[in-house]
């Protein structure tokens, strides 16, 4: 299944509205939006991938549609999947994008 292009457009709109400088990178069969050359937010199938502060992860897991990212069959600390029910409203999507952008300056870059 290809990634949800409509969700990707909504994320791009939110990133632009929050004055983020980003670029797209296709990966894992989806798309990732890179901020400061770091994975920030993306789309895999019909879910949003969110890179958030690992310190608040346990609290955020209680939110609607949120689960740990288990792309490799092991949960990845600080990476979440958000199902469509958790981001169906633009305000909800914007809240998630803001969380990702807030954490991005402290996120570690992957080794090249």
Helix (H) or strand (E) holding 91: helix 90-103
Collapse the DSSP code of 42 into the 3-class scheme (helix H, G, I; strand E, B; otherwise coil) and give the result. Answer: strand
Q: Compute the residue count for the chain.
A: 112
Mean pLDDT of 16-25: 97
If you search the block for the tokens 């809240």, which residue do you land on? 95
Going along the chain from its start, the domains and CATH numbers come out as 5-103 (3.90.1150.30)
End-to-end, the C-alpha distance of the chain in Å comes to 28
Tens digits of per-residue pLDDT, 49-99?
A: 999 999 999 999 999 999 999 867 788 889 999 999 999 999 999 999 999
**With 60 as the cut, is the pLDDT of residue 101 above it?**
yes
**Cα of 56 vs its chain's centroid, Å:** 15
Q: What is the pTM of this model?
A: 0.92
């Amino acid at each position: 299944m290809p990634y949800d292009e409509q969700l990707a457009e909504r994320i791009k709109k939110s990133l632009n509205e929050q004055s983020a400088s980003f670029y797209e990178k296709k990966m894992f069969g989806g798309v990732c939006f890179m901020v400061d050359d770091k994975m920030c937010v993306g789309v895999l199938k019909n879910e949003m991938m969110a890179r958030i502060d690992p310190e608040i992860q346990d609290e955020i897991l209680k939110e609607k549609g949120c689960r740990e990212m288990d792309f490799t069959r092991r949960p990845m600390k600080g990476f979440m999947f958000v199902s469509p029910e958790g981001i169906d409203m633009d305000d909800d999507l914007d809240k998630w994008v803001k969380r990702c952008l807030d954490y991005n300056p402290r996120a570690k870059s992957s080794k090249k």
